[in-house]
Amino acid sequence: MAIQRVRSKWAKTKVLLRSSEMHEYIPHTKRFRRESLHSMLQDYGMVYVKPVSGTYGNGVIRVERARESGGYRYQIGTKERSAPSMDALYDALSAYANRKGYIVQKGIHLLKHRGRRFDLRVMVQKNLSNRWETSGMIGRLAHPRKIITNYHGGGTMMSIEQLLSSHLTPSETEALKAKLRRLGVMIGKQLSTAYSGLKELGVDVAIDTKFHPWVLEVNTKPHPYIFNKLADKTMHRRVTRYAAAYGGIKRKRS
Report how far residue 22's alpha carbon sits from residue 190's, in angstroms, rounded to the nearest whole number. 9
Highest mean pLDDT, choosing among 75-84, 144-153, 209-218: 209-218
Residue 26 DSSP code: S
For residue 125, what are the CA distances in angstroms to 175, 202, 223? 21, 9, 12
Answer yes or no: is 253 within a domain.
no
91 Cβ contact list (under 8 Å, min separation 6): none
Summarize pLDDT for 5-34 with one digit per residue, the tens.
999 999 999 999 999 999 999 999 999 999
77 Cβ contact list (under 8 Å, min separation 6): 146
Residue 84: CB atoms within 10 Å: 12
- Considering only CA atoms, give the Rg of the chain: 18
Greatest C-alpha distance within the chain: 64
Report how far residue 185's alpha carbon sits from residue 150's, in angstroms, rounded to the nearest whole number. 23
Answer yes or no: is 147 within a domain.
yes
| 77 plus 163 within the same structural domain | no
pTM over 0.85? The answer is yes
Q: What percent of the chain has pLDDT over 70?
A: 91
Residue 254 binned pLDDT confidence (cut-offs 50, 70, 90): very low
Report how far residue 33's alpha carbon sits from residue 147's, in angstroms, rounded to the nearest whole number. 22
| 82 plus 192 within the same structural domain | no
Report how far residue 225's alpha carbon sits from residue 213's, in angstroms, rounded to the nearest whole number. 24
Summarize pLDDT for 158-190 with one digit per residue, the tens.
999 999 999 999 999 999 999 999 999 999 999
| 147 plus 38 within the same structural domain | no
pLDDT of residue 11: 94
| 87 plus 117 within the same structural domain | no
Note down the domain range covering 80. Answer: 29-106
